Amino acid sequence: MSLSELTKASARDAVAMLRRGEISPLELVDAAAERIAEVDPMVNAVPTLCLEMARDAAEAVRPPDEPGPGWLAGLPILVKDLTDVAGVRTTYGSPIFADHLPDRDDVMVARLKRNGAIVMGKSNTPEFGAGANTFNEVFGKTRNPWNTDMTCGGSSGGAAVALATGMTWLATGSDLGGSLRTPASFCSVVGLRPTPGRVPLGPGSDPFQTLSMNGPMGRNVADLALMLDAEVGIDPSFPLSLPTPEVSFEVAALQPKLPCRIGFSPDLGIGPVDPEVAAVCRTAVEKLGDAGAAVEESCPDFTGAMDVFQTLRAALFVTGRASLLENHRDALKPEMIWNIEKGMKLTASEIGRAQVDRGRLTQRVAQWFEAKDILACPVAIVPPFDVDIRYVERVGDQAFDNYVDWLFIVAAITLTGCPAISVPCGFTASGLPVGLQLVGPPRSEAALLSAAAAAEEIFGLSTQVPIDPRPGND
C-alpha cells in the first residue's frame, strides 16, 4: 500500500495493519508527514511538527503482553495546541507562550502514549481555545478544507481540518462551549464531548471543574470510539475521573443500534438557527424516523441556559486566566480580556445563583430522558462562515454582542453534563457540511456511540473524507 493510500485508511484499519505487522509505525509517520507537507500549506492546521521525536517513538513501540481495548500499536496522532506534550512546542495559541516547551505530558497525552499513540505534532487553536473560529497571533488562521474561504470552527479547528484532509487518523480535542463539536460539524468529521470525568484532565489548577473536557475526534464513529478507549480511565490527579468500562467503546460502536425514542429540536427553544441548517438536520432526523425510531419534536426546558453558561464560563476564566490579564494584558485578544473582566465583576451571589440554576436544568434534563433515549439538534446554528469574521454577530433578527452567545446550542448541552457527539448529516446547497448533535444521558457514551453509528450508516457520509482542500473564490 502506498503512503498516500495509507492516509486514506480508517484509524481502525491502520491499527489492524499495525497489529498484524503488515505496516510499521514508521511507515505511518512518513505517510502522515508527506500528506501534511502536501496539503497543510492550503489550510494551516498543523503548525508544529515533531517528526524526529515521532520517528524515535515509532522505532520504540512494543506491544504489551496482553493488548487491551484502545491499544493503538504505533498510530500517529495530532494533539491540540492547548494540551501539553513534553518537549514539544505548545503555545496555547498565544504569543505569551510562543516559545513554550512543557516538561511533562498532559495526563491524557501520557495515557495515549502508553496505549501506543505516537504524537506527530500540534493542531492549531484560537488563543487559549477562546472562540469558535481558529485563528491566533502566533500561527494565523486555519481554513476549512471544504471551502478555504471559510472558517473550520473552533477551538479544535486544526484537529478537525487535519482529519478531514487525511493529515492524521485521530486527533485530540477539547470542548467548553462546543469547541470540539462545532469544528467537527464544520468539517464533516466526528467529535465527542464526553461526560465530565470520562477522559482525565490535567494536572490543572481546578481539577473539580466540569465545563471544559477533553474528547476524541475521528473520521467516523468507530475510529472515535477506538480513541476513546485509549483515553479513558482513573487518574489520581483528576478526582472526577471514571473507571474504564468493562465493555470497550469500540465494541459499542461496532454494534449500531438505532434509539427507540428520539426528541428533536431545531433550536432548543432558546435562539435562532439558520433555516438551511435547520432543514438539513430535520431531514436527517426524518431519515432516522423512516428507519424505525420514534421521533417527536421535543426537548428539555433550556430557559436561561446561556445566562448560566456565561456566568460560570466567566468564573472559570478568572480561575485559570486572571494572572494573564494582570501580567500580559497587551498580548491578549479582546475577547479574552472581555471574558476575564466579566468574571472579575461577578458577585458571589451571581455565581451561586448560576450554580443553582444549573442544578435545576440538570434535573429537568434527567426528567426528560425518562421518556426519551436521545436528544437530537443541530451542532451549529449557521454553516461555516467567512474565515475573516471573528464570530457570528447576527442570525435573522437576533444580534449577538459577544463571541459566545451564538454558541448557545452547544453551550446549553455543556451545562447538562451529558455526552454529546457531532455526526455529519448533510450539506448546504453550496456544499458546506452540517452536523447533527446527538445527546445522551450522563455516562451513556456506549449507548450514544451505538446510536451515532446507526445514524452514520443511515446518513451514509462517513466515506466523504478525507478530501483535498477546495479553494474558495479569493
| pLDDT tens-digit map of 52-82 | 999 999 999 999 888 889 999 999 999 999 9
Q: What is the mean pLDDT of residues 255-270?
A: 98
**What band does 415 get if pLDDT is binned at 50, 70 and 90?**
very high
Of 168, 169, 244, 160, whose CA–CA distance to 422 is shortest? 160
Q: Which residues contact 390 (CB under 8 A, 6 or more apart)?
A: 131, 133, 135, 335, 403
**Reported pTM:** 0.98
Q: Is the pLDDT of residue 456 over 80?
A: yes
Using alpha carbons, list the distances in angstroms from residue 321 to 55, 140, 237.
35, 22, 20
3-state DSSP call for residue 149?
strand
80 tagged catalytic: yes
Catalytic residue among 10, 94, 123, 155: 155
Catalytic residue among 94, 123, 174, 179: 179
- How much of the chain, in percent, has pLDDT values that exceed 90? 96
CB distance 50 to 88 below 8 Å: yes
CB distance 217 to 185 below 8 Å: no
Catalytic residue among 8, 10, 80, 156: 80
- DSSP-assigned letter for residue 238: B
Q: Is the pLDDT of residue 203 over 90?
A: no
- Whether residue 76 is preceded by a cis peptide bond, meaning omega within 30 degrees of 0, is no
Signed CA dihedral, 332, 336, 342, 347: sign only? negative
155 tagged catalytic: yes
Domains and CATH numbers, the chain: 3-464 (3.90.1300.10)
Q: What is the pLDDT of residues 23-58, one digit of tens each?
A: 999 999 999 999 999 999 999 999 999 999 999 999
